[in-house]
Structure 1
Amino acid sequence: MRVLVTGAAGMLGSRLVKRLLEQGVGGRAVTAMDLFDAFPCAPPDAPSVEIRTFQGDIADAAISERLAASKPDFVFHLASIVSGEAETNFDLG
């Protein structure tokens, strides 16, 4: 099963990635994982899982199309602008 996690470099995303690798989803093991963030993602050590990392702007249509092209079975969308940054840059938030 292929899983896509956006916001994978963040606190929640990195913890979710670890949990998915340990427990899978709905009793199914994760065999492939795409990790996306605006910042570099360090792939976890999981030799039996195909892990690809992507970096960029989630609002870029070309990036979104590339992420969707792998046809993930599950998408965990955690990419966001958190409150502190959104408050200082209202347009970005």
Structure 2
Amino acid sequence: MILKGSNLSFRPKKIKKGRKYAHFGLTFNVHLSFTFALKSLGKWIMVLVVLAFSFFLLIFQLDAGVMAQGIVEDSFRYFKNDIKSYLIASYD
């Protein structure tokens, strides 16, 4: 039994040949790379969104680190005051 794909139309696309450049032993087609970049514009937008979100998280993390450092310094200061008061009270 042979299945015929009558509703399927497959036509191989002709690809324009661009200049090939050799860089570090790798050759790439300039025309293909530019058409790929234009076709993957949505991917680039998604990459930019992810980078912006990660930058925001990095800033938030640094801010949280500074806040945590301030909290640690304050608690250590209170801890030193408690030790001083304990030593003074035990000395009396």
TM-score by length of 1: 0.18
Name the structure with the higher helix share: 2
Greater Cα radius of gyration, structure 1 or 2: 2
TM-score by length of 2: 0.19
Name the structure with the higher strand share: 1
